[in-house]
Amino acid sequence: MRETRLMMGMPITIDIVGATEPTALLAAFDSFDAVDRRFSTYRTDSEITAINRGDLDEAHYSDDMREILSLAAETKCETDGFFDICQPDGSLDPSGIVKGWAIRNAARLIARTGARDFFVDAGGDIQTAGRNPDGKPWSVGVRNPFRIDEIIKIIYPRGRGVATSGSYARGSHVRNPHAPGRPLADIVSLTVIGLDVLEADRFATAAFAMGRAGIFFIEKMPDLEGYAVDVNGVARLTTGFGAYCSP
């Protein structure tokens, strides 16, 4: 059972192999809708917007908000401040961690229904489990950041999560918090494989903000592998990345 919906400003695809009832699929999409209603900075009625307006004090934050803010603080510490949800105007934008968190939670929800083979893709960040409908390992294509209809690398995550941070699809939306106002100019794409998609997502965002140094940061991190493409089209990958390039 496979379905794609436009949610959270991006296409979200869920494929549950062998499913005959839509219950798990619908519940997973409902979870994404709940995340959008709570964390979207574009919605006037979201919790994060209420916080940024000063309408909600910390004592009344939801448990989900507390979890995200805790994860953001932890990631900021782990990345020497390169991951920072605090914007120059003082507002909070947790987008760099919410997507991976939402995908991971949707995948856990599907797994709790007994499904063992499934695929959750939200805007190119992916969590897989088991095998695809053909009984083969799920594969994920890494797009050429200069020609997005071209796949330059195929990886087989084998139950791990995959996330890509880049400027080729949404423009320069990731900033270096240590150099405010200076656009990132030396890297266009960074794909990270992590223990799950949340780990991949939060560290892909931070490493991309580091520019060319980001791939070396990923190299040093346990349980992470990465593939970076710079503005000259030169690809650099961590030493363990190749292990995921064959089924």
Type of residue numbered 32? F
3-class DSSP state for residue 92?
strand
Type of residue numbered 209? A
pTM strictly above 0.85: yes
DSSP letters of 116-153?
-SEEEEETTEEEEESB-TTSSB--EEEEETTEEEEEEE
d(CA 62, CA 53): 16
pLDDT tens for each residue of 83-102: 999 999 999 999 999 999 99
Domain extent for 15: 2-244
Non-local (6+) Cβ contacts of 89 within 8 A are none
Task: Work out how many domains the chain is built from and give that number.
Answer: 1
Question: Residue 131: its pLDDT value, please?
Answer: 97
d(CA 176, CA 241): 25
Comparing 75 with 88, the larger pLDDT belongs to: 75
CATH of the domain at 233: 3.10.520.10
pLDDT tens for each residue of 151-178: 999 999 999 999 999 865 544 456 667 6
Strand-by-strand arrangement of the 187-194 sheet: 2-7, 10-16, 118-122, 125-129, 161-166, 187-194, 225-230, 235-237
% of residues, the chain, pLDDT over 70? 93
